[in-house]
Amino acid sequence: MFNPRSLKIALILAIATLLAAGSDKAPEYKGDGPKMEFVRIPAGSFHMGSPPSEKDREDDEGPVHKVHITKSFYMGKYEVTQAQWKTVMGTTLTQQRNKTDSPWHLKGEGPEHPMYYVSWEDATKFCKRLGRKFRLPTEAEWEYACRAGTTTPFHTGEDLPPDYHRHQQMEWTHVPVSLRVGLGPPNAWGLYDMHGNVEEWCHDWYGPYEASEQTDPVGRLSGLFRVTRGGSHNTDARFLRSANRLGALPEERHWLIGFRVVMGKLPSTQPLPEPETPLCMSQVSQDAYDWSKGPNREKPFFQGPIPYVKKPPEGSSVPMYEHNHCPSVTWCPNGDLLAVWFSTEKEVGREMVILGSRWRADGDAWDPPSLFFKAPDRNMTGSSLLHDGEGTIHFLNGMEVAGTWGKLALVMRTSTDNGATWSTPRLINPYHQRRNQVIHGMIRTREGYLIQPCDAVSEGEGGTALHISCDGGQTWEEATNYGWGAFAKAGGVGGWIAGIHASVVQLQDGRLMALGRGDDINGCMAMSLSRDMGQTWTYMASEFPPISGGQRLVLMRLREGPILLVSFTDSSRKRETPQGMVVRDVAGKERRVYGVFAALSFDEGKTWPVKKLITARGAAQELDGGAWTGNFIMDATHAEPLGYLAATQTPDGVIHLLSSALHYRFNLAWLEQLMPAEDEE
């Protein structure tokens, strides 16, 4: 039976025969379907990367190193189109999109538009169907072909002319724009759309450059992300520069990545070795820790605060920026603590990286920061760590496509060796959407379920969604995908927790209880309760003051049984005129305190008889709370006024509380100890 697709593939394969015979004429597929044109790229040499003087240069674009491309090859004149994809693979853009992503409607649908919603794995399958001489370009081949002999940021010069623009600015909601291939002029070698349109998959694993001269490089031996190049629509033009490097998980599909095909054998060069292991994953003891060495549980214990966010050593390659925020922390079976947080210039920035640090067992300080997790040129908002108590540490993170934290996928890794090595990251929720902004506070229920709260919106209030795994993290689903709206004020039922940045605990009767930021009820922080594992929630006012920007609470069950809330006496909006909170001291006198406080409930959240300011006794001291907190004065009645909080309790009973920059340690006995009388301080 006649198969037109087989005929078309056979015609394309015939081109490979011409290439093998040494023809210098650029081949062209002219079957019954859409033609696929190729441009001959001559052998030659160039300087790969960008110098420190280049405007908008990023650290991973250096060091500049000379690269020799020893053999000519043929590269697709255009990105692979939707018509070509359908001819070879038999699926449409809509069918691809429905596999893993939300239906973002663009003007980029049509036979002459590039194929996107294509994973690296999809793109390599396409090449294999064409024949053994078809493949993705190496990263070096891509940059060499893009530059076409130029040394400027773009092959057009210092700037990219408007003819090449496809809405080159970041938006919270993508602006529809035509993506038809070949709309702008080609570069000097006849290639179209090398700057923008859609990103293009490359063969290489992403990894740092080396300064040495290289011949036909093929990237790193292994890695977490595959390289993409060229930038896309709906992003700033600086991400379209010839040297700019991006990357994504090989399984990832979204509306910004397509590909183009190369004809020619892959260079036989040996790949570069794997990058150096980060400090937070180095020299990690695998000995079980003796937790009986900890402080006496019957005696009050408090130490700190000390900084856990530090500057890396001089000359370090650690990508640390000025804004360090949004921590998560957990304990390890070897006695270590592991903390992660994001570091960035702007919270909507694509430079955002997840850094990590380790407090080693029986140590007295945190290690300097090191790289923990980073998708190249992707926003990484939100991290969560949890040791499940049985030897597995779970790590979840959000991962954007083009900046902002509005449309994040949900990525997971696990470690069974105290965080020394981690599993290959995988998308547990591949939909780039709201409801995937991870919050510290993953819990394990008595049923063994893992529950991860995630902001359901990108605004300062509006609700928190839950993601649940009933099989130890193998598969995940959303508890529900509808919000809470005005239900809280009406006393009705909604599908999300009231407030963003919410923390969750399971009550003794199996219900879930949550507190969060914003969506206040009657001027108080909202409390949310669920009887069906987060599918529906009811709402009521708590007794606690609301919090706002730059603040995130902790709600957790202690090993001893009580529920612990750590929050703030005043919202950040009242920083200049705080009202504080009244507590009783050991002499029975009422005293007003300000800043971060702890509250304990011994009756499953009905009452909170213990409230305690989290502050060190002694003389007043000025501290740096980092991030949005900045400098503050700590004394007997004033504690840290802002901060994104995260906490874990180690098996020795010590509660480790992190703010945006500081680490506090205390136990239940200290929390239950009344505030000293004024004349005792």
Q: Quick one: average pLDDT of 599-606?
A: 98
Q: Is the pLDDT of residue 18 over 50?
A: no
Give the pLDDT confidence of 456-494 residue by residue, as tens digits.
998 888 999 999 999 999 999 999 877 655 444 445 578
Q: Is the pLDDT of residue 266 over 90?
A: yes
Q: Is the pLDDT of residue 590 over 50?
A: yes
Q: Note whether 667 and 301 are within 8 A (CB).
A: yes
- pLDDT in the model for residue 12: 47
Gap between the Cα atoms of 247 and 237, Å rounded: 17
Domains of the chain by residue range:
4-263, 559-638+652-681
Cα separation values, 655 from 131, 295, 389, 595, Å: 59, 11, 15, 18
Query: Is residue 505 classed as helix, strand or coil in its secondary structure?
Result: strand
Q: Is the pLDDT of residue 75 over 50?
A: yes
Q: Note whether 200 and 257 are within 8 A (CB).
A: yes
Gap between the Cα atoms of 392 and 628, Å rounded: 33
Give the pLDDT confidence of 287-326 residue by residue, as tens digits.
999 999 999 999 999 999 999 999 999 888 999 999 999 9
Give the pLDDT confidence of 398-448 residue by residue, as tens digits.
999 888 888 899 999 999 999 999 999 999 999 888 899 999 999 999 999
- pLDDT in the model for residue 97: 84
Gap between the Cα atoms of 566 and 645, Å rounded: 8
Q: What pTM was estimated for this model as a whole?
A: 0.94
Band of residue 35 on the pLDDT scale cut at 50, 70, 90: confident
Q: Quick one: average pLDDT of 86-105?
A: 80
Give the pLDDT confidence of 166-216 residue by residue, as tens digits.
999 988 888 889 999 999 999 999 999 999 999 999 999 999 999 999 999
Is the bond preceding residue 63 a cis peptide, omega within 30 degrees?
A: yes
Q: Quick one: average pLDDT of 573-582?
A: 90
**Geometric angle at alpha carbon 109, from 103 and 112, rounded to 5°:** 155
Band of residue 13 on the pLDDT scale cut at 50, 70, 90: very low
Give the pLDDT confidence of 632-656 residue by residue, as tens digits.
999 999 999 999 999 999 999 999 9
Q: Quick one: average pLDDT of 573-596?
A: 92
Give the pLDDT confidence of 217-245 residue by residue, as tens digits.
999 999 999 999 999 999 999 999 999 99
**In one letter, which amino acid is 238?**
R
Mean pLDDT of the chain: 92
Q: Is the pLDDT of residue 450 over 90?
A: yes
Phi, psi of 163 (to 5 degrees): -55, -25
Q: Is the pLDDT of residue 107 over 80?
A: no
- pLDDT in the model for residue 3: 47
- pLDDT in the model for residue 95: 86
Give the pLDDT confidence of 338-384 residue by residue, as tens digits.
999 999 999 999 999 999 999 999 999 999 999 999 999 999 999 99
Q: Is CATH 1.10.150.20 what the domain over 4-263 is classified as, yes or no?
A: no
- pLDDT in the model for residue 106: 58
**What DSSP character marks residue 14?**
H
Picking from 287, 307, 330, 288, the residue whose alpha carbon sits closest to that of residue 650 is 330
Q: Which of 94-103, 377-386, 607-616, 652-661 has the lowest mean pLDDT?
A: 94-103
**Geometric angle at alpha carbon 407, from 411 and 347, rounded to 5°:** 90
Strands 65-69 and 214-215: parallel
- pLDDT in the model for residue 28: 59
Cα separation values, 30 from 8, 10, 27, 182, Å: 8, 11, 10, 18
Q: Quick one: average pLDDT of 258-273?
A: 96
Give the pLDDT confidence of 109-142 residue by residue, as tens digits.
889 999 999 999 999 999 999 988 999 999 999 9
Band of residue 540 on the pLDDT scale cut at 50, 70, 90: very high
